[in-house]
Structure 1
Amino acid sequence: MKKNAQLYTKPLSKTVGEQIINADNSSVLELSKELIVNLFCAQGLLLFRGFEADVETFIKFSNELSTNFMDYTGGVFKRKVINGNSTLLSVNDFKDEVKLHGEMYYQKNIPLMLWFFCANPPSQDGATIVCDGKLFFDKLSDLLKDLFSRKKLKYRRHLERDAWRERYKTDELDVVEQICKNNDTHLQVNEDESIDICYIYPAIHLSRTGEAMIFINSLLPAMAISPDVISFDDGTNIDNTIMSELNEIAEKITVEIYWQKGDILMVDNTRIMHGRRAFADDKRDLYIRLCSPAFSY
């Protein structure tokens, strides 16, 4: 562990992230925001550990470094609202594994930054997994680098009326049409008021600094959970050979975070992919906030 002015830090792993440790019995609210920003810009993933934060502290701390909070409208998973705050959401509505992904990469308007808070850790299993999308891209074979530079991903979904009302948090098709327009998503409204949506997006992206290519998308969980919703933009299937290579890379570079009560995780959603291991118990209680950084980098 090293002292970086007011921050005591140590690497989260050999490949990604940094931990900020409470070595002097301080509050996370007392930490230097300037030093946090500098470290976050360099690392893309920060774990704040040992500060015994509660939910109120987590909200205040994340508010100080964030802007443009999102309420998960358009999101594919169910998210329970916590304490009546539509920007504080549960990630425990189901217990299955979720493979590495960028949050909401099946639409144009993504949260640029994520916050996670551990209200209560699981008794076992349920680790959050992360990896650096730059490292993922570097590990791709030349064939896949070329393939993903030429072909984009096509995400498509058929939603019955009740399903789109829940997903877009509205009863009005006019509102859905505007949301889809803002997200460059093609919308087809059917006679029975079901809808079909289609969004085309790249699997690889230029980093925010313009210095590197990043592999970040929703391909791995989509293929694991609902393979019929995703293909290449020319309509061709994403075959098992491609997915085998991607899943092999993912397992080699995945870092597991075993939660402790009060942990706070700060994630660059333009660079760092995340997911989780499956779990069985009901004690795991994690919350997420979706936002943009209130600073430039």
Structure 2
Amino acid sequence: MSAVQHWEPRVITPAEAGVAPSAAGLIDYLRDRTDQGTLDQLLVEEKALVFRGFGVDPDHLDPVMDLLLPGRLAYVHGNSPRTKVGDNVYTSTEYPPEYTISMHNELSYAHSYPSRLMFFCQQAAETGGATPVVDGVRWLEALDDEITAAFADGVRYLQNLHGGMGLGKSWQDTFETSDRDEVTAFLAESAAQVEWTKDGGLRIIQLRPATIKHPVTNTEVWFNQADQWHPAGLGDETARALAQIMPAEELPQAVTLADGTPVPDAWAVQIRDRGLDSAVDVNWNSGDVLLIDNLLVGHGRRPFTGARRVLVAMSA
């Protein structure tokens, strides 16, 4: 059994940090590590950090984020339903609570993706609601050789974004603007194929890698959303329902191999299931903060009951 299989996030408590069990104590700890330049190193080494027992609340969240996420990014070109609740701070997702959200690296389908993600648990769920995290090396090693070989040339993503009414997200919500020129300029940097449709929608085709190497560790990891963009990754019933509505190329999002060859249903299911099976759950306490290296670690969400509020922010 490899060391990768034993990986889990590093939990840092006030006692370990040697500071008061408060948001102010966490801020002092983070400021010291930032000044010393050791926080970046710690995150790369541990891949994910859970700050627990500091009792962070919304009133003290901004100074914590300023230290963890210098230069916060907007969720531009994101495909998950979210609500913006602050300065580049969002609800983590608004998918119905009864569903599992499979593992993924944030914006791995886009030409520009964050290197860090921070999650803040304002209110833990009554039951469930963990955020599973998966080591990208372990996920890659868990897949059959046939699949990794087929994805060697990358992943072809197709997005159909409506102009205000339709299935899925609108392009206005996706890019946080109603200015078509601004969207066109943004996508011009991505080498994507872009088409504004007659009904006011936007069609985007992008070729992206299936794996990447971390710029510091040179570690190769699984880094794509092929299973999430594939109908089979949503479950048999959902896949059948979508197939009855429209062909795959007309869905809000679809995926193929780099040369346009369809991805077999069984492959999408294997990628989804082995990512989830390889994950470690971060079970939330209200006030917890989770920081992850978005290149090294994928994340998802377990089903839950009761009210749950987890916020997310990201940085380059």
TM-score, scaled to structure 1: 0.86
Residue 244 of structure 1, CA deviation: 3.8
- What are the within-5 Å matches in structure 2 for residues 20-39 of structure 1? 20-23=12-15, 25-26=20-21, 27-31=25-29, 32-33=32-33, 34=36, 35-39=38-42
Output the CA distance in 2 between the equivalents of 1:143 and 1:220: 15
Give the aligned residue type for 1:17.
P
Output the CA distance in 2 between the equivalents of 1:55 and 1:81: 14
| 1:290 maps onto 2:314 in alignment | yes
- Report what 2:82 is aligned to: 79
Output the CA distance in 1 between the equivalents of 2:207 and 2:8: 29
Does the Cα contact within 8 Å between 2:81 and 2:93 map onto a contact in 1?
no
Output the CA distance in 2 between the equivalents of 1:53 and 1:86: 17
Structure 1 gaps of 5+ residues are 1-12, 293-297
User: Higher mean Cα deviation, 237-246 or 124-133?
Assistant: 237-246
- What are the within-5 Å matches in structure 2 for residues 204-215 of structure 1? 204-209=211-216, 211-215=218-222
Q: Deviations over 1:212-246 (max 9, x none)?
A: 21102222322224873111121111113323432
Output the CA distance in 1 between the equivalents of 2:177 and 2:47: 34
Output the CA distance in 2 between the equivalents of 1:245 and 1:161: 34
CA RMSD of aligned residues (A): 2.0
Q: Secondary structure at the match of 2:71?
A: strand
- Report what 1:90 is aligned to: 91
Identity %: 21
| 1:18 maps onto 2:10 in alignment | yes
Output the CA distance in 1 between the equivalents of 2:28 and 2:272: 40
Output the CA distance in 1 between the equivalents of 2:93 and 2:110: 22
User: Higher mean Cα deviation, 22-31 or 50-59?
Assistant: 22-31
- Report what 1:261 is aligned to: 286
TM-score, scaled to structure 2: 0.81
Residue 59 of structure 1, CA deviation: 1.9
Output the CA distance in 2 between the equivalents of 1:65 and 1:112: 12
Q: Alignment partner for residue 265 of structure 2, among 237, 240, 255?
A: 240
Structure 2 gaps of 5+ residues are 165-169, 240-247, 249-253
Give the aligned residue type for 1:278.
P
> Comparing both structures, which one devotes a greater share of its residues to strand?
1
Does the Cα contact within 8 Å between 1:79 and 1:93 map onto a contact in 2?
yes
Residue 247 of structure 1, CA deviation: 3.3
Output the CA distance in 1 between the equivalents of 2:120 and 2:53: 13
Give the aligned residue type for 2:222.
F
Output the CA distance in 1 between the equivalents of 2:140 and 2:201: 37
> Structure 1 residues 97 and 248, CA, compared in 2 at 3 Å: closer, same or farther?
closer
